[in-house]
Each structure stands twice: as C-alpha cells, then as structure tokens.
Structure 1
Amino acid sequence: MKKLTVLSAVLLGIALCGTAVAKTSITVWEDLNKASSLEQAAKDFEKEYDCKVVLVEKDSIKQFKEVQKLSKNGMSLPDAFILISDKVNEAIKKKIVADISVMNTEKTKFIPASVKPFTVNNKAYAIPRSIESLVIFYNKDIIKDPIDTMAGYEALAKERQKQGKYGLIGKLDNLYYSYGFLSAYGSYIFGINSDGTYNTDDIGLNNDGAVKGTKLVADYTRNYIPKTALDKKKGLDVIDDMFINGQAAAVINGPWVLDKYKRSGVNFAVGTLPKLSNGMRIAPFFGVKGYAIAKKSKNKDLVEKFLVYASQPRYAMIRYQKSAELPPVKELLANPLIIQDEVATAMANQAANAIDMPSDPKMKDVWESMEDAFEDAIKNEKADIKAILDKAVKEIKE
C-alpha cells in the first residue's frame, strides 16, 4: 500500500511537471537574419506572461504570399508575420489578417505616416515595425561630401567613365527605384478619391511629368549604368558588389543593404536623394513594414500584447541596432543616440520626402507594365516616350 502511495505521488509529480511546462506558445515570423532583433523582447515577455514566443526567420517580401498559401491549404499559420504596406487591402480582402483593436490607443506612439498605410475604414491591420525609403549610399573615399543635384552626379559619372568606372548607379529599370524621378516632375500612380481611396481609373504614369522623368531615367541608365546592373535576377547583387569594390562611387538603395555594407568594410555614408533640374528632390516610395496578426490565430490577445511590448522604445532601439531598420516609434526617433546617428537621420529625412506606396491590388499590373515600359525606353534612344507610357497605362487599365 505504501509502495502504491509513493508511486501515485511520483505519477502525480510527473503530471504536475507536464502541466507546468505546457505554456501557451505564439509563433512570430521575422525577416531573414533579423530574429536576433526581437530575441530580448521575446525573452522578457516570456517571463512576464509565462508563455513561449517562437521566432521564425522568413524573407519578409515573401511572407504574405506564403501565409496566403498556407491559409488556402488549411495548414498551420504563424500568429504574426510581416506585412508590407502595399499588401494591406489585398490581405483584408482575402481575410488573411485580423484588425488590431489595441492600435486605437497605441497609434499615438508611432509617427502618423507609419500608421496611415495600415489603416482601412478606421481599423488598423498591423503594428508598424520599420519604415523604409530609398537613399544614396556614397563611398567616402571617393566622394567627400554628398552631392545635392542629379546634374552633379552626372558630371561625376562622366569623370569616372574616363577611368572605366562608374558614378551613381541603381536598378533604375525598375519602377520601385525610378518612381521618385517621375514623381518629382508631377507624375503619380493613382488619383485619390474624396474619401481617401485610390481612383485606379485615374493613372498619372503617362502625363508630362512621367514623360520627363522616364526620359531622364532612360538617358542616364543608358549612358552611365552597366547593363549587368539591369539583369532581372542578379542586377541588385551586381550593384552591391560594384559599390563594395569601389567600381561605383554611389548607389541608390534601401536600408535593407545597411548590414551588408557594414560587414563589407566599405567606407560609406548615407544621404538623401538629389534634386532634379526643376529644383525638386527625387521623391521615392515610402514603405512601411508592420507586424500583422493572422485572422485564424487562436492567441490574438496574447500576440497583440507581445507586439505592443516589443514596440517599447527600449526594444525598438535594440531592434534598430541589430537590424539597421528604423522603427517609427516617436520616442525612439527623439532619442539623442538616433538623432546623432547620420544613417538614421538620413533615412528619416528621406522618409519625410517620400510618397506612400499605393496599397491597391492593381499595383501588380502597374509593376509589370512599367517594367516593360522602362525596358523599351532604355533600349531605344530614339523611342517615343509618350507612346511607350500611353501603352503601359492602357495595359494597366485593361
């Protein structure tokens, strides 16, 4: 009898231990090589809320598409994942994401420009994670001070050509990288309705500003950017390598290359994009990455708590230091360490002179048609730019 009592006690102890370790678990997808930026927040949150936070690294650009696929096939989804601002409306339409009620009170902690793209019909569908905009990365061993005009960069390109090298390069055959040239002359993607929605019948990609901008992009690309940099698969890697090796004095790129450039040892600095002949500064797309919550998550409340917890200034600073991506947290941006950081300052200044990337699903057609348009304009020096853009806009509308 005594043996049975002891055995029962042992079994009870095992059962209790099993219960103790059976914590609620939430899965959060982070970007490739960026999970470390969330680790400290996750550890502290686990202790405070007695749960488990599983961080999984996935390419942020592909996360929405992967979640879509998993949802369609009835497979297990992450509780939270990275949503890029131009995919918000599509994510809502396909019932992939849940609205985040806590943002009704938390939104004041973020800069308004980072909240707006994720807000539809007064409901927020992501907690802002990072802001991004194209900037100029320049080699300080070649360029002592940032050049303020495109004409100045063209003069540099001509001088460098004599040495078989390059000045400013970028993947300008891609609308994402070249749109700022068009917008600075008065072009736009879609018109805006009185209620703030996009008017996809009003497309400004073939107006006079678009023609001027496209001609500038085509002429500069044809004359001063190597063809290898335009390769659809390897072009961006070629651009990075040329900058790191000193073949190119400067590049147009985004904050996602910061870590790569730092590790390479190249002596670089960051500046805002230059002014064009009309005195207007190149105004690229303003993008925001946010943490969205899967509509099918069974732990929505806990996930909300974690995402808000990880957005506290202390953890936002850790995220910036480890990921080189700037969280749009007001208190963080006012921190002296950020103000004195020339990279963060340049990013913030450029973001202030950038344009929201439209979140309408019609953007898929815009990317495809404009890629063909730029390719035609660059290949043929005598091309009728207006006719090329008219054709692209017609395709988008059809």
Structure 2
Amino acid sequence: MRKKLKIITMLVVGICFTSMLGGCGKPYQGSAEKDSKEIVVWSYLMDNEVEELNNIAQEWAKENGKKVKVVKDNSPFQSFLQAANSSKGPDLVFGLTHNNLGTFHQAGLLAEVPQDFANRDDYVNSAVWDAVSYDGKAYGVPLSMETYALFYNKDKVKEVPKTIEDLVSQAKAYGPSGFQFSMNEFYYGAAFVQSYGGYIFGGDKGSLKVDDIGLANDGAIKAYKFLQDLVQRDKFMPADITADIANSSFKSGNAIFYIGGPWDISGFKDAGVNFGVVKLPKINGGEAKTLMGVQAGFVSSKSPIQDDAWKLMKYLANNSGERLYKIGNRIPVLKTELNKDEIKNNEFTQGFISQTSSAVPIPNIPEIEAIWKPMDNMSRILNGEDPATVAKDIEKAVQDNIKASNN
C-alpha cells in the first residue's frame, strides 16, 4: 500500500539525508567506473514501477542507439553524494518525492532544467512546477502528483456536503462515528491548518522563509480548536485515532465520511463498500488546502553526459504517465495524460485530481523535516489541552529542530 504519497518511506530517507548517516537502505554499489557512454538511472519507485520504467528507458535506448541502465535505489543521501563525486553515481534520478529535493539542491547536486525542456502550460497546474523550483528556477521535472480527498458512503450519504459544517451536520445525524480520519497525523491536519490561515513556512513560492513559521498564528489555533471539537464535543473519534481505526470504521459503515488517499481505494473495493471520492468540502469559506506531493525526476549536476540524460528524461516524462498510472495509480501531471479515457472516466481518480487544484505542495526545503515530530503534539490538543498553549510549544519545537539541524 502506497500510503501517504509514500511520505513515510521518503521521510525515512529524508531523515537519513539530514543526518548524513547511513542505515536507511542498502547503498547502491555500482561498478568501479561506469561506462561513460551508458546513462545510469536511479529510481525510488516501487519494484513493479521500476520494472516498467526500465521497459520505457530501453525503448528510448533502442531508438537512439544508446545504453541505459535503470537501478532501483533506496540509499541514503551520503551514499548518493559519495557516488556522485566519484563517477559512480547516476546521471538521472526518477521518482523522488519533491520534498526531499532540498537536500540535493543544498549540496549542489541538481542540474537546472533547460528552459526549452517543457511547455509548462501542458501541465495540470503551476503548483507542480513550484514544487521543484528554487528561487524561480526549476531543478526537477514533475512526473506525478498525490493528495488526499473525501471518501463518502454512497449508500448512506444522499447529498455530498459542500462545506465542512454541512459534513459535520450530516455525520452527527448519522451517528457518533460518522466522520473519521487520521487526525493525529499532520499530513491530514494540515488541510485544516492551511485553510484557516496557518502555514508551515512563509515566504514566496520557491523562496521559503524558515524563520517565518505559521503553525501558531490565529488561523492555526482556530484550526486546532475545530479539530479538537470533532473529538471532545462531537465525539466522532477517539483522541488517539489512527489511520487503521478510521479506515476500518469506513469499511464497516460506522463512518460515512473519511479523509484518505489513492492508497485506500483497493481496500475499500475489496471490502465491498459502495463509495465515492470528491474534493474536500469548503473549509473556512474557501477551497480546502490539502498537502500535495509531487514525484519528480532530476539530472545530476555531476553527470558528464547531461545532454543525453535530459533527452532520456524528456522521453521518460512524456511516456511514463499512463503506464505508471495503470500499475501504481500514480496520477500524471501532463494534461494529455489526464485527458485519456482510462483516467478521465475513473471517478475516484477524478476526485483526487479535483482536490489538487487547491492543494499546497509540501515545502521542498530540508527544514521540512523539523516539523513532523513537533506536530505529534496534536494529540495533546485532541485530549483537551488549550490549543493556543500547545501551538506555542509546537512552534518552539520546530524552531529548536531547525537550529539543531544547522549546527
């Protein structure tokens, strides 16, 4: 199950990146000295996806008289850095969650995307390019996107709620467990924080300010209070709610509304639930601002054959969308792919695509790692502590984590 846009997997990798120490995967050994004419691709995708990626890469290689080697890689950042600096590293990386790009960018390992590489109007929205950009320049290529949305039970919900207040009202009328999701995980809670006016880091797109943390402002506190009320006042779910508990409640019919992602679809189908997927209802009078992950590719600045690497990248980006969607449910970012019948006629996929129009990319800087542990304090809020007090503790912990990572 590709839970949370592979955030769990990639954050584990990200922690290794930050610490610069091994232990999160077997480093790619490579050959002592790679063939300079061979384009080496490292991929962080799932096994079956890497297999298909290799098929696509070999098609390009055959057409162009080139040699391409595709390798599944889970090695930590330090191993990548050592390989890149010793001619053993890849020329191209395909399928890395964009919020991990910051560490590579900081180390100078990302080659800038050529100006004529792609027409950005061909992509679903500008946010997917914002996710791979720094200071107005793109250093990665968006490949697919993921966010979460609202699941609802078609047999028990007569009208899809347009506002969060309407959702709460319908859930109350149904029963005590009518609405559940993994509220303790900030990945999901961020939709409420950002919709009420909170934010992770301030600054402009591609130029975030880590000293401007918006997790304790008035908007964030209002969001924490709203989430607290769902537990303490409305009794929809326990304070220690988990993804498994919420998922099971929706499967059994105890919950008629559930917030989740594409990774939940197969389980609900297998359980025989008659469900639909739509974008989240309006929160605080506006479109819900969920977090979005973008799978990206980049060319190594250390590669001696960058021209060929970019040509291969273009082929992979333009020809992998539908094929990776079929085997991995990854939602493409190119409009031509999204307009294909298999995607256009899939109501579940369309629900997630609709949500991406207001989704906010996870910050793509190394300091993003500093927020996840402090946000575990959400459990204190859900257990009834004062949201404003806990918010200050969250902000202080994030600040301390950033300082520690810079020392």
Q: TM-score range by the shorter chain?
A: 0.7 to 0.9
Residues 168-193 of structure 1 show CA distances to partners (whole Å, capped at 9, x for unaligned) of 22111122111111222222222225
CA contact (8 A) 1:67 1:77 kept: no
| Alignment-derived partner of residue 12 in structure 1 | none
Contact 1:34 1:57 in 2 (8 A): no
Residue matched to 1:384 = 386
One-letter code of the match for 1:345? Q
CA distance in 2, matches of 1:263, 1:24: 44
Worse-matched range after superposition: 213-222 or 288-297: 288-297
Question: Which of 260, 266, 269 is matched with 2:276 structurally?
Answer: 269
Q: Which of 312, 331, 335 is matched with 1:306 structurally?
A: 312
Contact 2:190–2:291 at 8 Å: present in 1 too?
yes
What corresponds to 2:223 in structure 1?
213
Provide structure 2 residue ranges, at least 5 long, that are not aligned to the other structure.
Answer: 1-35, 401-407
Report the equivalent of 1:47: 62
- What's the CA shift for 1:364? 2.0
More helix by share: 1
Residue equivalent to 1:293? 299
Question: Using the alignment, how far apart are the partners of 1:196 and 1:53 within structure 2?
Answer: 32
- Residues 1:265 and 1:94: Cα distance change in structure 2 (over 3 Å): farther
- Aligned partner of 1:182 in structure 2 is 193
Distance 1:267 1:39, change over 3 A: farther
Match of residue 203 from structure 1: 213
How far apart, CA to CA, are the structure 2 residues paired with 1:297 and 1:345?
38
Matched pairs, number = 358
Range with greater deviation from structure 2 (220-229 or 90-99)? 220-229
Q: Which runs of 5+ in 1 are unaligned?
A: 1-21, 231-235
1:141 pairs with 2:155 = yes
User: Which amino acid is 1:186 matched to?
Assistant: G
Counterpart in the other structure of 1:86: 99
Aligned to 2:3: none
CA radius of gyration, larger in:
1
Alignment of 1:229-240 (within 5 A): 229-230=241-242, 236-240=243-247
Q: Does the CA-based 8 Å contact 2:98-2:296 persist in structure 1?
A: yes
* Corresponding residue of 1:17: none
Q: 2:268 & 2:108 partners in 1: Cα distance?
A: 38
Equivalence for 2:379: 375
Residues 228, 198 of structure 1: CA spacing in aligned structure 2 closer, same or farther, 3 A cutoff?
closer
TM-superposition CA deviations, 1:250-286 (whole Å, max 9, x none)? 321223444554555543321111223x423321123
1:117 CA drift (Å):
1.9
- 1:83 is paired with a residue whose SS is strand
Residue-by-residue CA offset, 1:25-55 (whole Å, 9 max, x unaligned): 5333142243355355234223213445444
User: What's the CA shift for 1:362?
Assistant: 2.4
- Within the candidate set 204, 212, 225, 2:237 is matched to 225
**Aligned twin of 1:11:** none
Hey, what's the Cα distance between the residues in 1 that align with 2:328 and 2:40? Answer: 22
The 1:24–1:204 alpha-carbon spacing in structure 2 relative to 1, beyond 3 Å, is closer
Match of 2:27 in 1: none
- Measured against aligned partners, the alpha-carbon deviations of 1:191-236 in whole angstroms (never above 9, x if no partner) come to 225x962222222222221111001112214522245633xxxxx3
Q: CA RMSD in A?
A: 3.1
What's the secondary structure of 2:366's corresponding residue?
Answer: coil
Aligned equivalents of 1:224, 1:37: Cα separation in 2: 43
For the 8 Å contact 2:149–2:277, the answer to whether it is kept is: yes
Aligned sequence identity (%): 26
* Contact 1:99 1:124 (C-alpha < 8 Å) held by counterparts: yes
Instruction: State the secondary structure of the residue aligned to 1:291.
Output: strand
Q: Contact conserved, 1:138 with 1:249, CA < 8 A, in 2?
A: yes
Give the TM-score normalised by the residue count of structure 1: 0.78
